[in-house]
Amino acid sequence: MEDVKRYLEKAGGSISEEQEEEGSPTPTAIADSISRRRHRFFERFVLTGLRVDLIEPGRILCSFKVPPRLLNAGNFLHGGATATLVDLLGSAAIFTVGSPVTGVSVEINISYLDAAYVDEEIEVEAKVLRVGKAVGVATVELRKKSTGKVIAQGRQTKYLNVASKL
């Protein structure tokens, strides 16, 4: 489980904490991040600043302040960032129950219920509903930490790669 925590908290390592405190990272920092590991850009971009508050088999509780880089044109948390959190944290929760792989998403459903604004403290809870031989299902809920009001609720179904005997 320490590996899961380390992955979630360190995924954004290429954007410095100084840049994060100053607001959005510079275009140069983003370009450097992309050039170093293109296939990990969105994970780093969204997960930077995420803190793992609790991790146990089948459940992960995280928190973060909404950074300016994750805002949409309406100046609230972008739906794509929310979807990425549902995907990554749902996968991580599945991994905590002993699944050797996190598999691939075959279905993600997200209900967007409220807005979250810059510097608002958000709590994200991922729970495993079921993990079988071939399929895993998790729910992820984003809430305002100050009020408990639900911002978004997601559910993810993953196909857990079964090793081929070919």
For the stretch 18-53, pLDDT in tens is: 444 454 444 444 444 434 444 466 677 777 888 999
**Helix runs in 37-98, H state only:** 41-47, 79-96
10 or 112, which is more confident? 112
- Per-residue model confidence (pLDDT) at position 165: 65
Give the E-state strand segments of the chain in sequence order: 51-56, 59-65, 104-112, 121-131, 135-144, 150-159
- Per-residue model confidence (pLDDT) at position 163: 65
- Per-residue model confidence (pLDDT) at position 19: 43
Domains of the chain: 50-159 (3.10.129.10)
Asked whether residue 138 carries a pLDDT value surpassing 80, the answer given is yes
Instruction: Please tell me the distance from the alpha carbon of residue 93 to that of residue 136, in angstroms, as a whole number.
Output: 10
pLDDT digit string, tens, across residues 59-104: 999 999 999 999 999 999 999 999 999 998 999 999 899 888 878 8
Among candidate residues 88, 89, 91, 93, the one with its CA nearest the CA of residue 103: 91
4: confidence class by pLDDT, cuts 50, 70, 90: confident
- Per-residue model confidence (pLDDT) at position 99: 83
Give 101's contacts (C-beta < 8 A, 6+ positions apart).
160, 161
pTM above 0.85, yes or no: no
User: Which residues does residue 55 pair with via DSSP β-bridges, in sequence order?
Assistant: 60
- Per-residue model confidence (pLDDT) at position 18: 44
Q: What are phi and psi of 86, to 5 degrees?
A: -60, -45
Q: In this structure, are residues 56 and 38 in contact, taking their beta carbons and an 8 Å threshold?
A: no
Instruction: Please tell me the distance from the alpha carbon of residue 86 to that of residue 69, in angstroms, as a whole number.
Output: 18
User: Which residues does residue 140 pair with via DSSP β-bridges, in sequence order?
Assistant: 126, 154
